[in-house]
């Protein structure tokens, strides 16, 4: 096996399984993923570098690039969780800025004053979209929709759905109450849903 | 009777905690007669899958699906 790959660029040491463009691509994706959670921060680069180095030490266990990536993301998730825990000791997310996610009105904009769907906001059937979840176009739209959410909603949503933390863990790490976490997740899902429906399924032209 | 806001709030919370018997009954009653909330309920799992696809997408798999 090793002589088959020895002609490829030496990305992770002699006999590296994966070539440099692939490693660079993985690094870029990991950085993007980590920045969503941690913001643009020196810690992000360190976490990515450590996860990548750790994974490359064991790269020969992985023949397929996809399996390697899945594993490296798992390492990175743990590192992000560690950093979030460490940050918790210094500051809490709840203490950052005004509570602009919690509107003063009773319902978010998708609903009328009696809590019914606004005509424009009522969810429509999505058919069977799961086939396109991995398309480049979808990923770009998802990226921009996530960016449209208020920062705190996006962060809690990512903690829950990507890092797959339990609500109690999110509460411990952010200082937010469970009730607030439920509200933020509800808002995030409503916002993301509406944005995806209008941009991905082509029912509207607005960005957010 | 729940309104759509409260029904979607329960549908969302159901991904984080177990709903009470009363909450489940009220939710079912509403969703059965509400098309918008029925669609919302079906879309919720897709949102989670989409987020995970976004975080860990494999560039090699993109070309085949487009």
Query: What would the pLDDT profile of A110-125 be if each residue is shown by its tens digit?
Result: 999 899 999 989 999 9
pLDDT at A33 over 60: yes
Structural domain harbouring B41: 1-48
Distances, alpha carbon A41 to alpha carbons A13, A45, A86, A165, A175, in Å: 28, 7, 14, 22, 21
Who contacts A125 (Cβ-Cβ below 8 Å, separation ≥6)? Answer: B39, B42
> Within an 8 Å CB–CB cutoff, is residue A189 touching chain B?
yes
* Residue B55 lies inside a defined structural domain of this protein: no
pLDDT at A108 over 60: yes
pLDDT score for A80? 80
pLDDT score for A9? 35
Q: How many angstroms separate the CA atoms of A148 and A54, rounded?
A: 34
Chain B residues with beta carbon closer than 8 angstroms to that of A186? 8-9, 12-13
pLDDT score for B57? 62
CA distance B6 to chain A (A): 7
pLDDT score for B29? 96
Q: How many angstroms separate the CA atoms of A37 and A85, rounded?
A: 12
pLDDT score for A207? 60
Query: How many domains in chain B?
Result: 1
pLDDT score for A194? 93
pLDDT at B65 over 70: no
Question: The tokens of A200 are what?
Answer: 């991905």
* Residue B32 lies inside a defined structural domain of this protein: yes
* Class of residue A99 by CB neighbours under 10 A (exposed 0-12, middle 13-18, buried 19+): exposed
* Residue B59 lies inside a defined structural domain of this protein: no
User: Which of A161, A163, A190 to mutate: most B Cβ within 10 Å?
Assistant: A161
* Residue B58 lies inside a defined structural domain of this protein: no
Q: How many angstroms separate the CA atoms of A54 and A126, rounded?
A: 40
Q: Among all chains, which residue has been given the structure tokens 């759509």? A: B4
Model ipTM value:
0.88
* pLDDT digits 0-9 by tens, A2-11: 433 333 333 4
Q: How many angstroms separate the CA atoms of A79 and A160, rounded?
A: 16
pLDDT score for B66? 35
Q: How many angstroms separate the CA atoms of A152 and A144, rounded?
A: 16
Mean pLDDT of B24-52: 95
Mean pLDDT of B11-40: 97
* pLDDT digits 0-9 by tens, A60-104: 766 677 777 777 777 788 778 777 766 665 555 555 444 444 544
pLDDT at A197 over 60: yes
Q: Phi first, then psi: give them for residue A42, nearest 5 degrees.
A: -60, -35
* Residue B27 lies inside a defined structural domain of this protein: yes
What mean pLDDT, rounded, does chain A reach? Answer: 77
> Within an 8 Å CB–CB cutoff, is residue A136 touching chain B?
yes
Chain B residues with beta carbon closer than 8 angstroms to that of A142? 50-51, 53-54
* Residue B20 lies inside a defined structural domain of this protein: yes
* Residue B53 lies inside a defined structural domain of this protein: no
Least confident of A42-46, A101-105, A135-139, B29-33: A101-105
* Residue B63 lies inside a defined structural domain of this protein: no
Cα three-residue angle B5-B30-A149, rounded to 5 degrees? 25
Question: The tokens of A81 are what?
Answer: 């969780």
Chain A residues with beta carbon closer than 8 angstroms to that of B48? 161
What does the DSSP 8-state code read for residue B19?
P
pLDDT score for B17? 97
- Banded model confidence at residue B21, pLDDT cuts 50, 70, 90: very high
């Amino acid at each position: 096996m090793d002589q088959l790959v020895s002609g490829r660029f030496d990305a992770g040491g002699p006999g590296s399984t994966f070539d440099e463009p692939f490693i660079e691509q993985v690094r870029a994706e990991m950085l993007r993923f980590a920045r969503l959670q941690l913001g643009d921060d020196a810690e992000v680069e360190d976490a990515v570098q450590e996860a990548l180095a750790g994974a490359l030490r064991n790269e020969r266990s992985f023949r397929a690039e996809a399996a390697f990536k899945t594993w490296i993301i798992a390492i990175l998730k743990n590192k992000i969780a560690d950093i979030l825990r460490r940050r918790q000791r210094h500051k809490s997310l709840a203490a950052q800025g005004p509570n602009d996610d919690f509107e003063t009105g009773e319902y978010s904009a998708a609903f009328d004053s009696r809590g019914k769907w606004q005509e424009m906001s009522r969810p429509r059937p999505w058919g069977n979209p799961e086939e396109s979840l991995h398309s480049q176009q979808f990923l770009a739209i998802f990226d921009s929709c996530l960016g449209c959410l208020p920062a705190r909603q996006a962060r809690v949503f990512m903690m829950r759905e990507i890092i797959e933390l339990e609500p109690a863990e999110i509460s411990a790490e952010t200082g937010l109450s469970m009730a607030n976490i439920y509200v933020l997740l509800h808002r995030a899902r409503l916002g993301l849903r509406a944005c995806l429906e209008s941009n991905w399924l082509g029912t509207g032209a607005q960005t957010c | 009777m729940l309104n759509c806001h409260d029904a979607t709030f329960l549908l969302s919370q159901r991904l984080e905690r177990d709903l009470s018997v009363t909450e489940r009954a009220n939710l079912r009653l509403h969703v059965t007669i509400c098309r918008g909330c029925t669609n919302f309920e079906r879309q919720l799992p897709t949102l989670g899958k989409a987020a995970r696809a976004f975080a860990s997408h494999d560039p090699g798999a993109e070309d085949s699906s487009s």
